[in-house]
Structure 1
């Protein structure tokens, strides 16, 4: 638990940094220019929704910022964990060949990794 005494400003900084990391991770998966540009939209949309709702409701923004940061960091960590797999799939795509089919075992491992990463990151930043 690294963040129990963080201010709203510090949470915004953490959310912006994790959003930038998410955009960079998503851009690394893009194969076309428009995909690189579009990969910036989800973090921007998330920030806009959080900011807009917190202003409209005049409520505590720490929890939405925590959730945004959590999701962004989990996706970045999983991008790093599956870097070799993504590199292989992108190489196949660039070569004009179809991607490998995902097996049930691979899906189960991914879901386990997703849940474990989410819990660990939540404990770390929660």
Structure 2
């Protein structure tokens, strides 16, 4: 039985489309974290900074081909999905903030859970791409 990755047939154009879609999904996922409507445009900063960082790092290391686009796609999709997984927690925190109540700092356990979730999602996406 042969195992083929979902993206084994992707051309460079396909990877560009995937990267743009993943960046857009990340921006949409984090849009709710910006409270003031006039500042919501700032959510594009995360995907843009990620793209610039990925391009600069890849260029500095001489990495060519589709690898940088694949890494960017995995990263942005992982961030977006992690935001979705923690939507209830984030909603509670936002409600506290909007009501003027203090927001408790995340515990070490919560931070560890967030990081483990992010890594698990990244690994799952990486293995399927």
TM-score, reference length from structure 2: 0.83
Aligned length: 125
What is the 5 A alignment of 1:79-118?
A: 79-118=83-122
Q: Distance in 2 between matches of 1:45 and 1:84?
A: 27
Superposed CA deviations along residues 49-68 of structure 1, whole A, max 9, x for unmatched, are 6668889xx97341110111
Aligned-pair distance for 1:23? 0.7
Unaligned runs of at least 5 residues, structure 1:
none
* CA root-mean-square deviation: 2.5
Q: Distance in 2 between matches of 1:80 and 1:89?
A: 14
Is the deviation greater in 40-49 or in 60-69? Answer: 40-49
Superposed CA deviations along residues 46-86 of structure 1, whole A, max 9, x for unmatched, are 4456668889xx97341110111011000011001000000
Moved runs in structure 1, 4+ residues, more than 4 A?
48-55
Unaligned runs of at least 5 residues, structure 2:
none
What is the 5 A alignment of 1:37-116?
A: 37-48=41-52, 60-116=64-120
Q: Distance in 1 between matches of 2:98 and 2:89?
A: 14
Q: Distance in 2 between matches of 1:54 and 1:112?
A: 26
Q: Distance in 2 between matches of 1:74 and 1:47?
A: 15
